[in-house]
Amino acid sequence: MAPEFNYPTEIKGTRKLYSLFKGLKNPLEVITGNHKMAGDTYCIKSSLTHKNFIFSQDKEFTEYILKQNHKNYYKSEIQSITLGKYLGNGLLTNNGKDWLKQRRLIQPGFSKAKISNLVSIMEEEIDKAFQSFRPEQDVDLYDFFHKLAFNIVAKTLFSSDIDENRIKELGKIITEVQEVFAKEVRLPFYSQILKFLGVLDRTLEKSERGKAIIQEVLDKRRNTTEEKNDLLDMLIQTRYEDTQLPMSDEQLVDEMLILFIAGHETTANALTFIFFEISQNPDAEKKLKKEIADEEEMVFTSDSLMKKSFTSNIIKEAMRLHSPAWAIDRQALENDSFKKYSWPKDTLIILYISGLHRNPKYWKDPNSFIPERFDDENAKNFAYYPFGSGPRLCIGEHFAMMEMALIVRKFYKKFSFISYQKELDKKALVTLRTTSLKGKLSAI
């Protein structure tokens, strides 16, 4: 009798055990190795959790899941339940009608017109941060960008001053939650040990502390009569179409927490990779500096920052090589099939964006830093998804691209960065990050 479903090549035996255990610390190495062995789409069946996983770095398969048949796929329980218990029920973890309702409420705050109005606030924060820079100064840009990106999110989206100790505390909480979450997801049986040791309860307490910090920002706003006309004001004042009721405080805090995390975490990590790649490619830096000089007084305007440019090419190419959103997960609501493959409902789909972005099937010299490749007139059709795709395309894409372009141009108008590191250690948690980017500043 023929099998009911036709899965892709299955990873079995010792390689499967290796994948489960080694994948905890180094999922990039494991998933990349599995793709080399099994092709662009493979599956792993977990006998411990009775769950089936399909991994893919195939462009057509990715498009099918995220676009053509997106209605059959929710964010998987990995994010909606496991991550959701720590970060709440915001845009990142929500699903279905609730997600759509929240997306419609928040989307207007991220229109190109709204984002353009934020340039001057971003500039002020960036200039303030760069004031301390001196030629020949040693610096860790990883730490620097995390502080800067957090301050930019606080000022642009919520017009709020947050005490630096609070920033450090919230950043620490976010990192610790991600590390525990990664262990829970990659070694499900290990979560029982974490639970027994009290790690899960302590992590939940930390996430509640993070939400309490966000609640302080919300309470501060509610106790002022001054209109800020920012995203937070919009979120407080907006009403649901069906009930005409505002968001509850709990929902507001969840959305703000997600926006804080997504708005600073991915951008800071991307900036670290961008500056690393520029430091390793002097010709690209030279071309960037020429573009900055040629733009003259337009260089920091929203029109210049948001148009196609060598600056944006550098950002895109660095995010291709080191995509902060290194994988996208989905869960099948019903049985489904694509080409020769078929799978049952509840199958977990892991779209391996890091692998797709370096897949030689789609990219010439996939491991080389070549910003000019994005000059191609067909660039829109590249196998390129740093912000996802389809209806769940990242709401903050324009915000992030403008912020990163402004920081890159502000820095390279005055300085250069000489990296002490020739390679970066990568840590794949919810987002892809490094642990440091140490080097020396030099003036032009």
Binding-site annotation, residues for heme? 394
Q: What is the largest CA-CA distance in the chain?
A: 73
**Cα 142 vs. chain centroid, distance in angstroms?**
15
**Distance of alpha carbon 354 from alpha carbon 108, whole angstroms:** 30
> Which 8-state DSSP code applies to residue 289?
H
Q: Please check whether residue 319 is in contact with residue 386, taking contact to mean a CB–CB distance below 8 angstroms.
A: yes
CA distance 40 to 58: 6
Strands (E), 298-401: 328-332, 336-338, 341-343, 348-351
Question: Taking Cα atoms as reference points, which of 291, 266, 265 lies closest to residue 278?
Answer: 291
Strands 348-351 and 51-56, bridge-based pairing = parallel
Tokens of 231: 């995203």
Q: What is the DSSP string of 362-375?
A: T-SSTTS--GGGGG
How far, in Å, CA of 9 to CA of 294, rounded? 52
Q: What is the dihedral of CA 32, 35, 41, 45, to 10 degrees?
A: -90
Kindly give, in sequence order, each residue whose CB lies less than 8 Å from that of residue 301, ignoring residues fewer than 6 positions away. Answer: 119
Binding residues: 394
Residue 269 in tokens: 């990590």
